[in-house]
A = this chain, B = another copy of it.
Amino acid sequence: MVTKQFTGSPDEADLRRADSLAREIFSDVANKWALLIIEALGEQTLRFSELRNEIEGISHKMLTQNLRMLERNGLVERTVHPVVPPRVEYALTEPGQALRVTIDGLCDWTHRYLGHIETSRHRFDA
């Protein structure tokens, strides 16, 4: 009860910190490439080049960047096999798997409403 009671309300401060962190994570995760990478990984472990082939249109740079980001947030695990040529494999961690489930929901939604959206667009563009 006496801990850190001098700098205003500590509980509020903690909440603000958590909020800003949540917002930050949201920005990281809510981006096209991150979502597609997570979807592509699914339950399998894939090599860098396999991911690159799996995700159509992603550039070498974007794949590296997003993989680093996901690794940093603990959503994917990166294992390097010390052989020549190098063999690097990526797989979802448990938090990553959990996220994938919700992303699956997003994919289902997309396919379910594909028609709605297409017609809505045509009506709007007129």
Contacts and interface: CB of A to CB of B under 8 A. Distances in A.
Contact of A98 (B21, B27, B109, B118): B109
A117 B95 contact: yes
Contacts of A60: none
A32 B26 contact: yes
Contact of A74 (B105, B110, B112, B116): B116
A4 interface: no
A14 to B, nearest CB: 11
The dominant DSSP class at the A interface is: helix
Contacts of A111: 22
Contact of A25 (B27, B30, B110, B124): B110
A102 B99 contact: no
A62 interface: no
A4 to B, nearest CB: 19
A61 interface: no
A113 interface: yes
A121 B30 contact: no
Contacts of A72: 120-121, 124-125
Given A26-B36, A31-B31, A102-B106, 5 more contacts: A21-B117, A21-B118, A26-B106, A30-B106, A102-B108
